[in-house]
Amino acid sequence: MDIALVGIGKIALDQHVPALAASGDWTLAASVSRHGTVDGIEAFTDLETMLAARPEIGTVSLCLPPVPRFAAAQAVLRAGRHLMLEKPPGATLAEVHILQDMARAQGVSLFATWHSRMAHGVAAARRWLAGRTIHEGRITWREDVRKWHPGQDWILAAGGMGVFDPGINALSILTEILPQPVHLTDAQLDFPANRQAPIAARLSLSQGIEADFDFRQQGPQTWDMEFRTDAGHLALRMGGNLLEIDGQRVGGQDSIMGEYPALYARMADLVRDRASDVDLAPMVLVADAFTRGSRNSVDPFEF
Ligand code: NAP
């Protein structure tokens, strides 16, 4: 099946292009980006022009940041094409509900991806936790924004979600593996004095779960979560890719390279089945943190 990629920046080049090149389901048939291109692929700088010029491309994958993504998503659905969204699926929850309604009306597939749910340890963690009771949990997601998002001012602007851009990956795993639904009870958000989105956040969630997200981490980077249950201890490390039970490594792989191939395989299944997959649970937790959380002003931040 032919697919077009829109927003040729960091994640498109790091993950989407290699995943599509290795896929038996997909042919990357066009790109759309104001500046970015993909070697050997027809490049457009305007989405509407591509949609009109290449009617045989049935699916479009959007790799734009969340704020500019909504208008592009509406254009794709209006043109009757299947749509795949990078995470988070919108800048607001209402945007995603609108996209769901449009996809339903057009009879096309909509996939709101959560790449971290495809990490190597996640499915096994979900199976192990089924039927167990969580007594407490701790999520530590601490990374250096200068290293992973160099110069991306949008991430600390309104709608960029700040540290929730990576933190929502942890929440996407959490909401996938827990046997019971979880909700936010309290939050502390640290906003740099010169920015509109938090650079760090601490969340309290039901089931005794605490989350610590920080974009200012120097040295070792941490993407871990641990749970004490009525029948043992589970840890997921490396963004969900390594699984430990009672301190012993039992599965997974120290690599994120399987996540995007798995997303594109899932998208192919959805298109074949004329189905959609949209789960807003991770984004509800983030929205609730902005609604319920206390706001602290911290030092200005420059890339
Ligand atoms: P990025 O490189 O800053 O942006 C991707 C591309 O979008 C840019 O190269 C730019 O292409 C286009 N773009 C940026 N701002 C725009 C605007 N205001 N209007 C129209 N086009 C705009 O971002 P990214 O790191 O790839 O992240 C994109 C999405 O992927 C985000 O939602 C992020 O959460 C998600 N993601 C990122 C990572 C990562 O490690 N970076 C990992 C997983 C998921 P042109 O200038 O060529 O149009």
pLDDT tens by residue, 117-159: 999 999 999 999 999 999 999 999 999 999 999 999 999 999 9
Q: Is the pLDDT assigned to residue 220 strictly greater than 90?
A: yes
**Residue 88, preceding peptide bond in cis (omega within 30° of 0):** yes
For the question of residue 87 being annotated catalytic, the response is: yes
Residue 138 confidence (pLDDT): 98
**Distance between Cα 211 and ligand 1 center (Å):** 26
263, two tokens: 């997303």
Q: Is the pLDDT assigned to residue 257 strictly greater than 90?
A: no
Q: Is the pLDDT assigned to residue 254 strictly greater than 90?
A: no
- Residue 24 neighbours by CB distance under 10 Å: 7
Burial 154-165 (b: 16+ CB within 10 A, else e): bbbeebbbbbbb
As a CATH number, domain 2-112 is: 3.40.50.720
Q: Work out the pLDDT band at 21, boundaries 50, 70, 90.
A: very high
- Does ligand 1 have an atom closer than 6 angstroms to the CB of 65? yes
- Does ligand 1 have an atom closer than 6 angstroms to the CB of 36? yes
Torsion from C-alpha of 71, 166, 214, 8, nearest 10 degrees: -60
Residue 157 confidence (pLDDT): 98
Q: How far is CA 235 from CA 22, 75, 130, in A?
A: 31, 42, 15
**Distance between Cα 182 and ligand 1 center (Å):** 29
Residue 253 confidence (pLDDT): 85
- Does ligand 1 have an atom closer than 6 angstroms to the CB of 86? yes
Query: Quick one: which of 174, 89, 159 has its CA closest to 126?
Result: 174
Average pLDDT, the chain: 97
Residue 256 confidence (pLDDT): 81
First to last CA, the chain: 40
Residue 162 confidence (pLDDT): 98
As a CATH number, domain 119-254+287-298 is: 3.30.360.10
- Does ligand 1 have an atom closer than 6 angstroms to the CB of 66? yes
Residues 219 and 95: their CA atoms lie apart, in Å, by 37
For 157-205, the pLDDT digits (tens) are 999 999 999 999 999 999 999 999 999 999 999 999 999 999 999 999 9
* Atom 20 of ligand 1, nearest CA residue: 68
Domain ranges of the chain: 2-112, 119-254+287-298
Atom of ligand 1 nearest to the CA of 9: 9
- Does ligand 1 have an atom closer than 6 angstroms to the CB of 63? yes
Chain CA centroid to CA 231, Å: 30
Q: Is the pLDDT assigned to residue 4 strictly greater than 90?
A: yes
For 269-291, the pLDDT digits (tens) are 999 999 999 999 999 999 999 99
Identify whether the C-beta of residue 3 lies closer than 8 Å to the C-beta of residue 60.
yes
* Amino acid of residue 273: D
Residues 206 and 275: their CA atoms lie apart, in Å, by 32
251, two tokens: 């599965």
Q: Spot the catalytic one: 69, 81, 82, 87.
A: 87
Q: Is the pLDDT assigned to residue 113 strictly greater than 90?
A: yes
- Does ligand 1 have an atom closer than 6 angstroms to the CB of 8? yes
Residue in this structure with the two tokens 């599965």, named with its chain if needed = 251
For 45-103, the pLDDT digits (tens) are 999 999 999 999 999 999 999 999 999 999 999 999 999 999 999 999 999 999 999 99
**Distance between Cα 250 and ligand 1 center (Å):** 35
**Distance between Cα 235 and ligand 1 center (Å):** 31
DSSP classification of residue 117: G
Ligand 1 pocket mutation, candidates 44, 63, 144, 303, criterion most atoms within 8 A of CB: 63
Q: Is the pLDDT assigned to residue 237 strictly greater than 90?
A: yes
- Does ligand 1 have an atom closer than 6 angstroms to the CB of 35? yes
Residue in this structure with the two tokens 């650079």, named with its chain if needed = 199
Q: Work out the pLDDT band at 1, boundaries 50, 70, 90.
A: very high
**Distance between Cα 6 and ligand 1 center (Å):** 9
* Atom 37 of ligand 1, nearest CA residue: 11
* Atom 32 of ligand 1, nearest CA residue: 65
Query: Quick one: which of 118, 120, 125, 123 has its CA closest to 229?
Result: 125
